[in-house]
Structure 1
Amino acid sequence: MFYEGAIYRPPSEASSLILQVTVGCRHNHCTFCSSFKGKSYRAKSRTEITEIIAEGFKMDPYAERIFLADGDALALDMDLLLDILKELYQRFTHLKRVGIYGAPKDILEKSLEELVLLREHGLHIIYLGVESGSAEVLYQMKKGVTPQEMITAGQRVVTSGIKLSCTVILGLGGTNYSNEHALETAKVLSAIDPHYLGTLTLMIEPAAPLSRQVAAGTFKLLNPWEILQELELMIQHLDVQDCVFRSNHASNYLPLKAHLPFEKEALLGTIANVIRQSREELLKPEKWRRL
C-alpha cells in the first residue's frame, strides 16, 4: 500500500486495513500537533481512491475493519464518501465496520441527515479529537473551534447513531490551566456523552509550534503526578451514561480502563492509590512513551 507521509490511526484501529483517501489536515494550525505539519491537505481523486481500494483488497481481501485516513477524511464530499462506502462493502465481503477521523469542523459541515445517511451506508465510528473543553486552552492551542462548537459536533454524531469516540489530551493546559482544563473538559464530554473516551498525555515533538513555548519557559509541562491529579479531577466531574473509557495510548503514564459510570469509583480508587504511593515504578518510564 502506498502512503503519503506518516500515517496515524486510533489505538483501536491497530488491526484495521488503513486506506488513505485524503492527505494531511485541513486545519493544521494546532500548536501541540506535529502529525501533519509536513503535508499539504488534499482530497484524493475518485480514480486514486478506486486504485487504493483495489490495492487494499489485494493486501487483505478478508478485512473485517477498514479505517479511512488521514485526519480529515470526513471532509470529503458526501457523494464521494457514499461511493467509497458502497464499494468497500461490495468488495470486502467480510467487512464489519468502517471508521474515520472527524475533525469538529468536518462534522459541523455535515447535516444530521447526511450523517444518518453515512451510518446507513456502513460508517460505524467517528473519532473526534476534543483535546480540551476549556475555551482558553482551545484558543491558545489554535484548535479553531469553541467548546460549544465541539459539543454541537459531538452531539450530532451521537444523535445520528454513529458511534462516537472522543479523545482528550492530559496536560494540554500546562501548569497554568490544569484545573480549568480538567473541569471544562469534563463539562464538554458530559454534554456530548460519547460512546468511547480515550486520553492521551501531552508529548511535544520539535516540529510542534508549542515546543518553542516550552523551550522559552512560557508553557510549563506537568509532571507525571500532576497529570494523574488532572485526570482524577476530570473523572470526578465526568457525567456520562454509558461510556467505555481507555487510557491505553502509548503516551500515557498509567494504563487504565473502565466502563463509566458503572466503574467510576473503582477507577478513581486506582488513580488515587497510585498518586498516594508516588512510586516511579508504577508509571511507564519516560523513554517508553510514544505518540
Structure 2
Amino acid sequence: MHYTGEVYRPPLEAYTPLLEVTYGCSHNNCAFCTMYHRTQFAISPMADVESDIIEISQSYPRPIERIYLLNGDPFVLSTEKLIEISDLIHKYIPEIKTITSYASFYNLKNKSKEDLKVLREKAYNELWFGVETGDREVLSWLNKGCDLEEYHKGLEKMKYAKMSYNAIVMQGIKGRGKSKENAKETAKFLNTYSPIGIFIMSTDVQYGSLLFKMREEGKFQETTNRENLEEQIELLKNLNVPGDVLYSSGHIVNLVRVSSHMRNKEKMIKKLEYALESLPTEVLDSKNQARAI
C-alpha cells in the first residue's frame, strides 16, 4: 500500500480499507489546523491507486462494501478523476456500496449539482465534511476557503443529488463568551439539510496554526470545559433533525462523551447537564480536555 506523510481518517472508519488517492491537503490553510503542514499536496499516480485497490481486494475479508479515500480532501479531484477511481474500485471490488472520504464546501465550489448526482451514482454516497461552524462571523476568519453563502450553495447541491454526509463540528471555535451563539447558528445550518451523523470536536489551539497566533495576540480566547458543555446542550436543543441521525461527542478530545441517535436527544442533554452539576469547579473552569467521563 502507498501511504505518504500523515494519514488521518474519522474514528468511525477504523475498520474501513484506506485507499490513498491524494496526500496532504490542497487547501491546507484552515486557521485551526496543522495536520498537513509537513506534507505537500499531490495526486497519487493512477498506477499506484490501481495496485493498492488490487491489494485491498486480495487482503481484506470479502465482501468489501466500503472504502475510504485518503487524504485531506480527495474530493478536490475532478469529477472525471473521481469517476475513474470509482470504476477501478468496482472493477476489482464489484460488491462495493460506499466510497467515502473527507470533503469540504471548498471542494464543492468547482462541482455542479449534476456532478454530485453522477458521483453519488458511482457510490460516492456518504462523505465527511468539516463543517466546523455555521456562524458567519467565525467563517470570515476561519480560512475554510468559502463563506456561509457558499456553504449553503454546497448544501443545495448535495440535497439535489441526495448525497448523504457526516458533519464534524467544533465546539468552542467562536471563543470565550460566545459558545451558545455559535451553537444556535451551527444548528440552524445543520437543520437546513440534515447530515446522517453529527460529530463534536473540542477546539484545540495547535502551535503553528493561525489560531495560535490569534490567541497569542489576544484576538482569540479559549473556552472552558463549562462553556463547551453548555455549547453542546444548546446545540442539541436547537437541532431539528430526524431521530435516526447519529450524534456523538465520543472523541477522546472531548471532556464528556455522549453518543446516541437524535431520538434520544433528551437523554444526552440530561447527561451533559448532570456533568455540569457534578464535576468539580476546577475541572469545569479549566481549559484542560484531558479528562473524560
TM (norm. structure 1) is 0.90
2:183 aligned with 1:186: no
CA distance in 2 between counterparts of 1:8 and 1:167 reads 14
CA positional deviation for 1:35: 0.9
Question: 5 Å matches for 1:199-278?
Answer: 199-242=200-243, 243-260=245-262, 262-278=263-279
CA positional deviation for 1:179: 2.8
The residue number in structure 1 matching 2:106 is: 105
Which deviations, in whole Å up to 9, do the C-alpha atoms of 1:119-174 show, x marking residues without a partner? 21222311111101111111122222222221221342233122211111011111
CA distance in 2 between counterparts of 1:263 and 1:116 reads 32
The residue number in structure 2 matching 1:86 is: 87
Q: Secondary structure at the match of 2:166?
A: strand
Give the fraction of aligned pairs with identical amino acids, expressed as a percent. Answer: 27
**Residues 19 and 52 in structure 2, CA contact (< 8 A), matched pair in contact too:** yes
CA distance in 2 between counterparts of 1:281 and 1:120 reads 52
CA distance in 1 between counterparts of 2:126 and 2:282 reads 36
Q: Secondary structure at the match of 1:219?
A: coil
CA distance in 1 between counterparts of 2:177 and 2:148 reads 19
Check 1:200–1:76 CA distance in 2 against 1; reply closer, same or farther (3 A cut): same
Q: Secondary structure at the match of 2:125?
A: strand
CA positional deviation for 1:282: 9.7
2:15 aligned with 1:7: no
Give the residue type in structure 1 aligned to 2:205. I
Give the residue type in structure 2 aligned to 1:223. T
The residue number in structure 2 matching 1:50 is: 50
**Residues 137 and 177 in structure 1, CA contact (< 8 A), matched pair in contact too:** no
Check 1:190–1:37 CA distance in 2 against 1; reply closer, same or farther (3 A cut): same
Question: 5 Å matches for 1:131-146?
Answer: 131-146=132-147
Question: 5 Å matches for 1:159-178?
Answer: 159-178=160-179
Which deviations, in whole Å up to 9, do the C-alpha atoms of 1:36-56 show, x marking residues without a partner? 122222222323322332343
**Residues 250 and 258 in structure 2, CA contact (< 8 A), matched pair in contact too:** yes
CA distance in 2 between counterparts of 1:174 and 1:191 reads 24
Check 1:26–1:55 CA distance in 2 against 1; reply closer, same or farther (3 A cut): same
**Residues 157 and 163 in structure 1, CA contact (< 8 A), matched pair in contact too:** yes
CA distance in 2 between counterparts of 1:61 and 1:20 reads 19
**Residues 199 and 249 in structure 1, CA contact (< 8 A), matched pair in contact too:** yes
CA distance in 1 between counterparts of 2:282 and 2:210 reads 32
CA distance in 1 between counterparts of 2:279 and 2:148 reads 33
The residue number in structure 1 matching 2:153 is: 152
**Residues 147 and 188 in structure 1, CA contact (< 8 A), matched pair in contact too:** no
CA positional deviation for 1:104: 0.4
Check 1:125–1:30 CA distance in 2 against 1; reply closer, same or farther (3 A cut): same
CA RMSD of aligned residues (A): 2.3
Which deviations, in whole Å up to 9, do the C-alpha atoms of 1:234-264 show, x marking residues without a partner? 211122234221111221111112322x222
**Residues 46 and 80 in structure 1, CA contact (< 8 A), matched pair in contact too:** no
Check 1:90–1:280 CA distance in 2 against 1; reply closer, same or farther (3 A cut): farther
**Residues 201 and 251 in structure 1, CA contact (< 8 A), matched pair in contact too:** yes
**Residues 255 and 291 in structure 2, CA contact (< 8 A), matched pair in contact too:** no
**Number of residue pairs matched by the alignment:** 287
**Residues 158 and 194 in structure 1, CA contact (< 8 A), matched pair in contact too:** no
**Residues 127 and 164 in structure 1, CA contact (< 8 A), matched pair in contact too:** yes
**Residues 99 and 126 in structure 1, CA contact (< 8 A), matched pair in contact too:** yes
CA distance in 2 between counterparts of 1:133 and 1:97 reads 27
Show structure 1 runs of 5+ residues with no match: none
Give the residue type in structure 1 aligned to 2:248. R
Show structure 2 runs of 5+ residues with no match: none
CA positional deviation for 1:175: 0.5
The residue number in structure 1 matching 2:123 is: 122
Check 1:288–1:155 CA distance in 2 against 1; reply closer, same or farther (3 A cut): farther
